[in-house]
Amino acid sequence: MRRLDQLPPVWKGIPLALCSTAMFTLVGVIVRVLSDTIDVFQILFFRQLVFITLLMPAMVRSVDILLKPKRVKLHALRILGAFIALYFGFVTVSNIPLADATAIGFTQVLFVACISRLCLSECITATRLFTIIAGFIGVMMVVQPQFQQGSLQYTGAGLLAAMGAAVAVICVRKVSQEEPRITLLGYQALFVGVMALLPSIAAWQWPSWSELGLLLCVGVLSSVAQWIGVTAYKYGEANVIANVEYGKIIYSVALGYGLFSEVPNELAILGLLVIVASAALPIVYHHLKQPKL
């Protein structure tokens, strides 16, 4: 335990981000299955309902803290960004090929890098810029997206989702230095759920037992992943942790192979190696920067 406490913050943040990313990838697969019969707003509402239920004991214990937020404007901006990211992300993954949706989602890393430089004054070194660009190139090599005619509106939705996610990430990075995790998670769970409630009622359809089980899985996995993700951004710089998001494509390829017998070609395998290298470089870089004892 003492060794873990002595680790540099980024060494704690990156593994947590990898775990969170894996869970969110699985959520995307489940949403893709559910969207054939359940409206996206309803999926989002169930996600938030499960999230609130899981958080309720902690929220009750921390009610005094929840009633006294320190950064109201940033909380509001984060909630708006999260809603945009979740809704339009679900729309994108439900209407275009999974590879294309995954590729578009990785533009979040570029948005985070730009916004963190402007709003958080985080330095984007040449090494970090290289890892961002290399990782994005690796993603394109893996997914080899084919943006078919007629899917441009969903491509735009994916870009909007990526921008919303980037805004939410930056807000988390800023607010997490002053607010406890329960405040970050509680506000997001409650208010995004409220925003999804009315449109979900308009398109409401009672799910079957199997669909209800999948909806619960979406809620539980998303809740745990978000809790871990918030912790990751508390430990590491926003544009470093966001670079780990590229690991999502590795999970996507693994799930595609295991569930849908999708075998990557030679270019995709080369892209995987590029992604692994781009994700590992920040870890090596921070390790080399540490003073030798």
153 vs 48: which has the higher pLDDT: 48
pLDDT value at position 164? Answer: 92
Percent with pLDDT over 90 in the chain: 13
pLDDT at 183 over 80: yes
Amino acid 4: pLDDT: 45
- Digit-coded pLDDT (tens) for 229-275: 777 777 766 656 766 766 777 777 777 777 767 677 788 778 777 87
Residue 231: the pLDDT is 78
Please state the pTM of the whole predicted model. 0.75
Q: How confident is the model at residue 224 (pLDDT cuts 50, 70, 90)?
A: confident
Give the angle 186-233-269 at the CA atoms, nearest 5°.
120
Dihedral sign from CA coordinates of 83, 85, 90, 95: positive
Three-state helix/strand/coil letters over the chain: CHHHHHCCHHHHHHHHHHHHHHHHHHHHHHHHHHCCCCCHHHHHHHHHHHHHHHHHHHHHHCHHHHCCCCCHHHHHHHHHHHHHHHHHHHHHHHHCCHHHHHHHHCHHHHHHHHHHHHHCCCCCCHHHHHHHHHHHHHHHHHHCCCCCCCCHHHHHHHHHHHHHHHHHHHHHHHHCCCCCHHHHHHHHHHHHHHHHHHHHHHCCCCCCHHHHHHHHHHHHHHHHHHHHHHHHHHHCCHHHHHHHHHHHHHHHHHHHHHHHCCCCCHHHHHHHHHHHHHHHHHHHHHHHHCCCC
**Pairwise CA distance, residues 237 & 145, whole Å:** 30
Mean pLDDT in residue range 120-138: 73
* Highest mean pLDDT (candidates 170-174, 196-200, 281-285): 196-200
Compute φ and ψ for 264, nearest 5 degrees: -70, 145
Give the pLDDT of residue 135. Answer: 74
Query: Model confidence over 18-67: pLDDT tens digits?
Result: 888 888 888 888 988 898 889 999 999 999 999 889 888 888 888 887 87
- The CB-side HSE value for 148 (13 A sphere, CA atoms) comes to 8
Q: Over the stretch 71-91, which tens digit does the pLDDT of each residue have?
A: 788 888 889 999 999 999 989
Place of tokens 């690991």: 247
Q: What is the pLDDT of residue 59?
A: 86
d(CA 209, CA 109): 37
d(CA 219, CA 254): 22
Mean pLDDT of the residues in the chain? 79
Contact 263, 257 (CB under 8 A): yes
Domains of the chain, by residue range, sit at: 9-289
Is pLDDT of 122 > 90? Answer: no
Q: Which tokens go with 116?
A: 């963190």
Question: How many Å apart are CA 88 and CA 165, to the nearest integer?
Answer: 10
Res. 202: pLDDT tops 80: yes
pLDDT beyond 80 at 140:
no
